[in-house]
Structure formats: C-alpha cells, structure tokens
Amino acid sequence: MNIALWIIQGLAAIGFVYSGWLKAFQYEQAKASWGWVKDVPKSFVVFIGIIEFIGTLGLILPQATNIAPIWTPIAATGLAAVVLLGALFHVSRKEYREIGVNIVFFALAAFIAICRF
C-alpha cells in the first residue's frame, strides 16, 4: 500500500506543480490556457499558484525525509480544500467542463490525506 501511495503522491505532485507553476510564474500562459484567469485578479491567481506549489512540497518532503511526516496528510487536506473550492468556483461560473480535473485531483489529495493520517 505504501508504494501505491507514493505513486499517487507523485502523480498528484506532478499535477499540482504544473498548475501551481503556471499560475504563480507563467501568468500569461495560464491566462491563455484557462479562461477563468482573465476574470480574477492576477494577485489571486498567483496566490493560488504559490499555495499549490508549497502544498506540493508538503505532499512529498515530510514523508520522504521522515521529518514531521504529519505534514504530508495536512498538506494533502489543504490541497483537497483548494481543489474543492476551485470546483465550486467553476460550478458558479457554469464551467462544467473544468470540473473533471478538479474531481480527479480532489480524489487524489483526499485519498492521500486519509491514508497518511
């Protein structure tokens, strides 16, 4: 089970790093990729990206180094909350096509949180 969790953590980390990197450091590319980015303040998009990026570090490093491994499920819980709020945002904007990605990453983050707690 531990190996499966590491694989899931790796997949989730790749997705969150990509998303966080675009939002935090490649704003123009994020704006071209996601329509919603044009409708919210740049500072908020960058903030979300930084949160995702930091959350990804928390998803991997504490468990990998065995230094305060309790932070891994806490980070996963935080990322699940970010993704859930993003899904609610897309629902409010009737962007139903975008919600599929949110559901996948919510499931990954929630699974990691539950199993690592």
* pLDDT given at position 42: 93
- pLDDT-based confidence at residue 95 (cuts at 50, 70, 90): confident
CA–CA separation, 107 vs 20, rounded Å? 18
Residue 77 predicted with pLDDT over 90: yes
Q: pLDDT per residue over 2-52, tens digit each?
A: 899 999 999 999 999 999 999 999 999 998 888 898 889 999 999 999 999
Count of domains in the chain? 1
Q: Which domain, by its residues, includes 59?
A: 2-116
Which residues lie closer than 8 Å to 58 by C-beta, 6 or more apart?
71, 72, 74, 75, 78
